[in-house]
Amino acid sequence: MNKEELRKIKEKALEEHIPIIMDETLAVMEPILKEKKPEKILEIGTAVGYSAICFSEYLSEKGKIDTIEREEERVKEALENIKKVEVEEKIHILQGDAVEILPTLKEKYDVVFIDAAKGKYPFFLEQSLRLLKENGIIFADNILYKGYVMGEYHKHKQRTAVRNLREYIKAVCENSSLETQILEVGDGLAISKKIS
């Protein structure tokens, strides 16, 4: 992988305020991915491909990532970025709304990374559980949403997102087939392991 190109991709994304994964969140995920050596990763929310490119380092030899993005412009840029760092044979972008694409998927995944519309997290969880292998792991980014999820006050605009993120947390914590940690790292990261 071309690290210099990756650095440029990250810099450009930050300049353009694209909400790419935070360094400290990646730092928590990396050792877990390294140990797991996933064969298949599913990502919901590609943006410009930054996190998918980072994760591709930790795939097993023939491992692959499927990643979903609905914005055409972002898909275009992600495809270019994936080419630049030379990981195009490892990352497959599915263009469209994850709400429509997820129910059509059939193959199972070792790892799912949820990082898209916060109001859809409960639905993304339901689908991720269906698509997760035994001992698989679901990561959900932005789960604490700038602290709004823990706090009392949030603006009307954030209300639906907050309600759905809380619903996600409740669902993973109450699910007896999952072992869950909610970490305050970055914008909040939920890690749920499916136990057999």
Where along the sequence are the contacts to Mg ion (CB under 5 A)?
A: 115, 141-142
Nearest to 137 by CA among 145, 128, 146: 128
Task: Tell me which of 32, 79, 99, 150 binds ligand SAH, using CB under 6 A.
Answer: 99
- Site for ligand SAH contains 63 (CB under 6 A): no
Q: How far is the CB of 45 from ligand SAH (least distance, A)?
A: 3
- Site for ligand SAH contains 119 (CB under 6 A): no
Task: Tell me which of 36, 40, 64, 74 binds ligand SAH, using CB under 6 A.
Answer: 74
- Site for ligand SAH contains 140 (CB under 6 A): no
DSSP assignment string, the chain: --HHHHHHHHHHHHHTT--PPPHHHHHHHHHHHHHH--SEEEEE--TTSHHHHHHHTTS-TT-EEEEEE--HHHHHHHHHHHHHTT-TTTEEEEES-HHHHGGG--S-EEEEEE-S-GGGHHHHHHHHHHHEEEEEEEEEETTTGGGTTTSS---HHHHHHHHHHHHHHHHHHH-TTEEEEEE-STT-EEEEEEP-
Task: Tell me which of 33, 115, 149, 161 binds ligand SAH, using CB under 6 A.
Answer: 115
- Site for ligand SAH contains 10 (CB under 6 A): no
Q: How far is the CB of 13 from ligand SAH (least distance, A)?
A: 7
| Window 18 to 57, contacts with ligand SAH (CB under 6 A) | 19-21, 45, 47, 50-51
Q: How far is the CB of 162 from ligand SAH (least distance, A)?
A: 16
- Site for ligand SAH contains 117 (CB under 6 A): yes
What's the rounded Cα separation, in Å, for the pair 191 and 179? 8
- Site for ligand SAH contains 191 (CB under 6 A): no
Nearest to 132 by CA among 113, 105, 110: 110
Q: How far is the CB of 125 from Mg ion (least distance, A)?
A: 16
- The contact set with ligand SAH (CB under 6 A) reads 19-21, 45, 47, 50-51, 68-71, 74, 97-99, 115-117, 120
